[in-house]
Structure 1
Amino acid sequence: MEEEQYQTKQTPITNETLDSITQSKHEAMLSRLSNLHQSRLLQQSLTRNSSDSNSSFESTKSFLTNFSESKTSIESQLHLCRNPDSSKPTLKSDLNNISTSITDLERFVAENSYFLPSYEVRASLKTISDLKETLEIANSELLPKKKFSFKNKSVVKKEMSNAEPVVRVCDSVVAEKHSVQVRDSLGFRNEEGVVLVKHFGGAKEGDFTLSDLNGCEVRITGCFRALYIHRLKDCRVFVGPVLGSILIEEVEGCLFVLASHQIRIHHAKGTDFYLRVRSRPIVEDCNGVRFAPYVLDYEGIERDLKESSLDEETGNWENVDDFKWLRAVQSPNWSILPEEERVSGVNISSSEALSIDC
Structure 2
Amino acid sequence: MEEEQEDLPNPNQASEKTLDAASRKHAAMLERLANRKQSLSSRKPSSDSNPDSFESTHSFLSRFSQSKLSIDSDLSRSKSKSDLDRVSISISDLEKLVAENSYFLPSYEVRTCLKTISDLKQTVENVTSEIVPKKKFGFKNKKASTGFVPEIEPEIQAFEQEKPSYPIRELPGFREKENEVLVKEFEGSEIGEFTISDLNFCEVRLKGCLRALFVHRLRNCKVYVGSVFGSVLIEEVEGCVFVLASHQIRIHHARESDFYLRARSRPIIEDCNGVRFAPYCLSYDGIERDLREANLEEETGNWANVDDFRWLRAVQSPNWSVLPENERVGGVTISNLDE
For normalisation by structure 1, the TM-score amounts to 0.54
Residue in structure 1 matched with residue 5 of structure 2 by the alignment: none
Q: Report the Cα distance in structure 2 between the residues aligned to 1:135 and 1:320, rounded to whole angstroms.
A: 18
Q: Percent identity?
A: 58
1:245-324 counterparts in 2 under 5 A?
Answer: 245-324=231-310
Q: CA deviation at 1:61?
A: 2.9
Q: CA deviation at 1:183?
A: 5.6
Query: Which of 194, 218, 221 is the matching residue for 1:232?
Result: 218
Please give the secondary structure, in 2, of the residue aligned with 1:303. Answer: helix
Q: Report the Cα distance in structure 2 between the residues aligned to 1:116 and 1:58, rounded to whole angstroms.
A: 13
Q: Report the Cα distance in structure 1 between the residues aligned to 2:223 and 2:324, rounded to whole angstroms.
A: 20
Count residues in correspondence: 216
1:151-300 counterparts in 2 under 5 A?
Answer: 182=168, 184-203=170-189, 205-300=191-286
Provide, for residues 250-281 of structure 1, a one-character-per-residue CA deviation record: whole Å limited to 9, x for no partner: 00000000100000000000000000000000
Q: CA deviation at 1:120?
A: 4.4
Provide, for residues 88-107 of structure 1, a one-character-per-residue CA deviation record: whole Å limited to 9, x for no partner: xxxxxxxxxxxxxxxxxxxx
Residues 323 and 190 of structure 1: CA distance in aligned 2, closer, same or farther (over 3 Å):
same
Q: CA deviation at 1:132?
A: 3.2
Instruction: Note if contact 1:114-1:279 (Cα within 8 Å) is conserved in structure 2.
Output: no
Q: Report the Cα distance in structure 2 between the residues aligned to 1:249 and 1:131, rounded to whole angstroms.
A: 12
Q: Which amino acid aligns with 2:290?
A: D
Root-mean-square deviation (CA, aligned residues, Å) is 3.5
Q: CA deviation at 1:205?
A: 1.2
Residue in structure 2 matched with residue 133 of structure 1 by the alignment: 158
Instruction: Note if contact 1:216-1:236 (Cα within 8 Å) is conserved in structure 2.
Output: yes
Q: Report the Cα distance in structure 1 between the residues aligned to 2:320 and 2:162, rounded to whole angstroms.
A: 33
Instruction: Note if contact 1:113-1:121 (Cα within 8 Å) is conserved in structure 2.
Output: no
Structure whose CA Rg is larger? 1
Residue in structure 1 matched with residue 76 of structure 2 by the alignment: 61
Q: Which amino acid aligns with 2:157?
A: K
Query: Which of 340, 347, 351 is the matching residue for 2:333?
Result: 347
Instruction: Note if contact 1:204-1:223 (Cα within 8 Å) is conserved in structure 2.
Output: no
Q: Report the Cα distance in structure 2 between the residues aligned to 1:249 and 1:135, rounded to whole angstroms.
A: 9
Q: Which amino acid aligns with 2:337?
A: S
Q: Report the Cα distance in structure 1 between the residues aligned to 2:246 and 2:286, rounded to whole angstroms.
A: 17
Query: Which of 107, 118, 121 is the matching residue for 1:122?
Result: 118
Whether 1:332 aligns to 2:328 is no
Q: Report the Cα distance in structure 1 between the residues aligned to 2:335 and 2:154, rounded to whole angstroms.
A: 35
Q: Report the Cα distance in structure 2 between the residues aligned to 1:189 and 1:113, rounded to whole angstroms.
A: 39
Please give the secondary structure, in 2, of the residue aligned with 1:222. Answer: strand
Instruction: Note if contact 1:198-1:221 (Cα within 8 Å) is conserved in structure 2.
Output: yes
Q: Which amino acid aligns with 1:123?
A: D
Structure 1: 5+ residue stretches without partners:
1-53, 66-108, 141-179, 354-358
Q: Which amino acid aligns with 1:133?
A: A
Q: Report the Cα distance in structure 2 between the residues aligned to 1:252 and 1:317, rounded to whole angstroms.
A: 19
Q: Which amino acid aligns with 2:226?
A: G
Q: Which amino acid aligns with 2:273?
A: N
Q: Report the Cα distance in structure 1 between the residues aligned to 2:315 and 2:163, rounded to whole angstroms.
A: 41
Q: CA deviation at 1:224?
A: 1.2
Instruction: Note if contact 1:136-1:181 (Cα within 8 Å) is conserved in structure 2.
Output: no
Residues 231 and 138 of structure 1: CA distance in aligned 2, closer, same or farther (over 3 Å):
closer
1:91-106 counterparts in 2 under 5 A?
Answer: none
